[in-house]
Amino acid sequence: MEWIQFIAGIGIGTLGAKLLDIILLQRRIEKAEQRTWLREKRLESFAEVIKEFLSFGLHASKTRTGFQSYGLISKALLLIDDGKLVDRIDQFVVNMDHMNSLTDSKNAEDKIKGEQLYITLTEESREITKILRGIILSDRV
């Protein structure tokens, strides 16, 4: 009778340990998979933003409108937790579209303003790149 109780105790203990293992491990696996998915999606979408901003949209065959730029970066905007960064990226797109309008103008003053805005946007694009890179590198899997 002692053997039966001993074996039953081992069986119940093993079963309980396995259930805890399944419950705890399942949650950890799901969280790890979610972090991996988020990191991959951020990497993919942030790369598009960085390419668009560093090249000022000139990697495409023609200059993009602000709306086309928003279309390219929309996924990244959804994956950014920082509202201030989203606003900063939004303002960059607005300024980039304004810069393109100024440089396309026939007015000499507008061209000078466009060149000045270009200098500002070049610095801003590098800053945004650093921030997005930091987000990607801090996403530990």
First to last CA, the chain: 50
Question: Considering the chain, what percentage of its residues have pLDDT values greater than 70?
Answer: 89
Cα–Cα distance for residue pair 38/32, rounded to 1 Å = 10
Q: Given pLDDT bands bounded at 50, 70 and 90, which one contains residue 11?
A: low
The CA-based dihedral angle spanning residues 51, 54, 57, 58, taken in that order and rounded to the nearest 10 degrees = -100
The average confidence (pLDDT) of the chain is 85
The pLDDT score that the predictor gives to residue 141 is 45
Cα–Cα distance for residue pair 126/131, rounded to 1 Å = 9
pLDDT in tens, 16-67: 777 777 787 888 888 889 989 999 999 999 999 999 888 887 777 676 787 8
